Structure 1
Amino acid sequence: MMVSFFDQFASPLYLGIPLIAIAITLPWVLYPTPSSRWINNRLITVQGWLINRFTNQLMLPLNMGGHKWALLLVSLMIFLITINMLGLLPYTFTPTTQLSLNMGFAVPLWLATVIIGMRNQPTVALGHLLPEGTPIPLIPVLIIIETISLFIRPLALGVRLTANLTAGHLLIQLIATAVFVLLPMMPTVAILTATVLFLLTLLEVAVAMIPSLCIRTPFKFMPPENV
């Protein structure tokens, strides 16, 4: 029986336990907890340095009011980058290939930025719906277009993350299958295909890291005075 390549994106069960729940819980178990000692080991030191550097770069364009988002955004970044990287290992499952999970992250974060912008600076937030210098006859049309664009943004971001990871995993499986099929018949072609597979795996590692590193995207839709 031919197994569909898309079966890898179905949430599997093991002893009645959905593995997506284990995959979501795993990142919080893998990271070591910093101790109260003055000097930590090398792993905790490097982990703390990376988190501090990312937090500094994340908060650099924001004023002091936006620093209260640091814990939420950094935690979300660590969570996404961990489950995306773990999903590249054999016999694993990537939860972010599920559109429902991505929308569950995208919609609350997007809605929070919109609500805070409307509450703190309603004039500035509504002004984003109408570009400056718009001709009067085009004002109603542009307001409708910008409003639709605003509400469709979380769906677009969630679908983009899902499509990027799904396409990468599917290509890796297709090329890996081709390598196993070609190896007995044409070893030279199989080696060249394996080289392409290695380069594609490196590209997929970058694809797995980039979405989590772009976690500040929703803030560009909030007026700068509010963040």
Structure 2
Amino acid sequence: MMAAIERRGVLAAIGALSLFPVWARLTAAEVVGDFILARTVRRSLADGRHIEAAREFAVSFVPEASGKTLVTGTQISVRVEAPPALEALARIEERRKEDGFFPLRLDGSGLIMPTADKELFSELPEAVASAALAYARERSAGLEAAAASCQFIADLSDRSHHWLTLMPRDLFFPEPRDRRVSREIELADGTNGVIRMRETAQADPATGLLGSFSREAETATQTLSRTGSEIWTLARTVS
């Protein structure tokens, strides 16, 4: 059986090439106060519709004597939109709290510090796309052509969408960037597909703090398209 292979890859990276943030006026240790961190996640469904979950968290930055910064947070609102057939699932999702990733600590550069009980941080789109393609090839190897193509697309989509569940390490002080990757693929049954990923980050020019951070992932063939996206924003609490 001919395994699915990548036929052509086109990568465009715009903006900074490093993941590490460049400060404008503030360092992480100089940020004090209360903020609203918002995250909206959107996933497409097989029938072309989508499900979307938007959450807000009350976040506080507390500088520590060590030079690190403690970031605490509590979920304060949630909104879920879904087709009528998934109404029960939407109500379950609305009752779920998703603030277990707090508290966090930022190092002196503003990067989130890893902990033993949390999964690894997300990688850049080009690394994720390469790893997803390698994983999908391995999983579909040895299968009959039609089955191999289905398995390949399912695994490729799952891996690229898993990327959206991982937190960027420079979330709170992102380096402004716009990174995109698009890889065309040829499936075992002779059909073609594509995987596309994009990550954009904007920071407050006065402070270096998060303005917006968005990621998009799409896996498509001639007969289907699976898309997902997320966007984070941060705004100071108005008293």
Q: Would the TM-score normalized by the shorter structure come out above 0.5?
A: no
Larger radius of gyration: 1
TM-score (norm 2): 0.29
TM-score normalised to the size of structure 1?
A: 0.31
More helix by share: 1
- The structure richer in strand per residue is 2
